[in-house]
Amino acid sequence: MAFDPSYSAPRQAGVFFERRELERLLRLYGRMVAAGEWRDYGMDSLRESAVFSVFRRSSEAPLYRIEKHPALARKQGAWAIVGEGGHILKRGHDLDQVLRFFDKGRFSVVE
């Protein structure tokens, strides 16, 4: 059997953000950009999770990763906010409640 460069292996289905979830994440991102806290974002769809990363500068590691793990929905909650050092800062079942971590007064970036 010869190598066929047009062949690509079947991709595993990944986890994606639903439209409502993505709208909520982008609304938070816009608010934080307007406040001068965040400057860039990135999204990734992995086999077991979907990740929304936010950056102070695009050349740095992400400040926060907002992760969706559907496999943990019945246990710890599908949503988690992971900090720069990899520590889970907030976890829960409801995206809106988890994103309250970033509400005014509770959150500030220290340089």
Question: Closest Cα to residue 54, out of 78, 72, 31, 29?
Answer: 29
How do residues 9-68 score in pLDDT, each as one tens digit? 555 678 898 999 999 999 999 999 998 889 999 999 989 999 999 998 877 889 999 999
**What's the pLDDT score for residue 56?**
87
How do residues 74-86 score in pLDDT, each as one tens digit? 888 899 999 988 8
Order of all β-strands in the sheet with 64-68: 40-45, 50-55, 64-68, 79-83, 88-92
User: Which residues on adjacent β-strands are paired with residue 54?
Assistant: 41, 64
pLDDT exceeds cutoff 70 at 104: no
This prediction's pTM = 0.79
pLDDT exceeds cutoff 60 at 111: no
